[in-house]
Chain A
Amino acid sequence: MNFRPADDTSAATALEIKGVSKAFGRFPALKSVSLQAREREFLALLGPSGSGKTTLLRVLAGLETPDSGEVRFGGEDFLALPVRRRRVGMVFQHYALFRHMTVAQNIAFGLTVRKAAERPSKSEIADRVNNLLQLVQLEGLDKRYPSQLSGGQRQRVALARALAIEPRMLLLDEPFGALDAQVRRELRRWLRELHDRAGVTTVFVTHDQEEALDLADRVAILKDGELVQLGTPNEVYENPADPFVFDFLGQTCRMPGVVAQGRLQVADWVSEAPAGAPQGAVEVFFRPDEVSFGAPDAPGLLAQVKGVAQRGPDVRIDCRVGEADVEFQAHGPTLPQGVGAGRSVRVLPLRPQVYAA
Chain B
Amino acid sequence: MNPAVRLPGFAPLMLLGALAVLGLLIVLPLGVVFQQALSQGLGRYLEPLTHPDSLAAIRLTLLVAAISVPLNAVFGVAAAWAIARFEFRGKSLLVTFIDLPFSMSPVVSGLVWVLLFGAQGWFGPWLMEHNVKIIFATSGLVLATVLVTLPFVARELIPLMQDQGADEEAAALTLGAGGWTTFRRVTLPNIRWALLYGVLLCNARAMGEFGAVSVVSGSIRGQTTTLPLHVEVLYNDYEFVGAFAAASVLAGLGLVTLVLKSFLEWRHSGELSASRRH
For A100, give the chain B residue with the smallest CB separation: B189
Which chain B residue lies CB-closest to A90?
B174
What total of chain B residues lie within 8 Å of the partner, measured CB to CB?
Answer: 16
- Of residues 185 through 215 on chain B, the ones whose CB sits less than 8 Å from some CB of chain A are 185-186, 189-190
Is residue A26 within 8 Å, beta carbon to beta carbon, of the partner chain?
A: no
Q: What chain A residues lie within 8 Å of B175 (beta carbons)?
A: 84, 109-110, 113, 161-162, 164-165
Cβ-based interface call for B237 (8 A): no
Q: What A residues does B189 contact at CB under 8 A? A: 98, 100
Query: In the bound complex, do residue A84 and residue B178 qualify as a contact, i.e. CB atoms below 8 Å apart?
Result: yes
Tell me if A62 and B174 are in contact (CB < 8 A): yes
Interface assignment of A99: CB less than 8 Å from any CB of chain B: yes
Nearest-neighbor residue (CB-CB) of A87 within chain B: B176
Q: Does chain A have a CB within 8 A of B98?
A: no
Question: Given the complex, which residues of B lie within 8 Å of A100, measured CB to CB?
Answer: 189-190
A89 at the interface (CB under 8 A from B): yes
Q: A61 and B181 in contact (CB under 8 A), knowing A96-B168, A99-B190, A100-B189?
A: no
B170 close to chain A: CB less than 8 A: yes
List chain A residues, Cβ under 8 A from B186: 98
Task: Let me know if A113 and B181 touch, CB within 8 A.
Answer: yes
Q: Which residues of B contact A97 (CB under 8 A)?
A: 168, 171
Q: Which residues of B contact A249 (CB under 8 A)?
A: none
Which of A87, A113, A162 has the most chain B CB within a 10 Å cutoff?
A113
- Give the most central of B171, B172, B173, B186: most A CB within 10 Å: B171
Tell me if B49 counts as interface (CB < 8 A to partner A).
no
Q: Give bound CA distance, A98 to B184, whole Å.
A: 13
Report A111-128 residues with CB < 8 Å from chain B CB.
Answer: 113-114
Chain A contacts for B181, CB-based, 8 A: 113
Q: Are B190 and A109 in contact (CB under 8 A)?
A: no
Would you list the 4 A-B pairs with minimal beta carbon distance, nearest first?
A: A110-B175, A96-B167, A96-B171, A113-B177
Q: Besides A84-B173, A90-B174, A162-B175, 13 other CB < 8 A contacts?
A: A61-B170, A62-B173, A85-B176, A90-B170, A90-B171, A97-B168, A98-B168, A98-B172, A98-B186, A98-B189, A109-B172, A109-B175, A109-B177
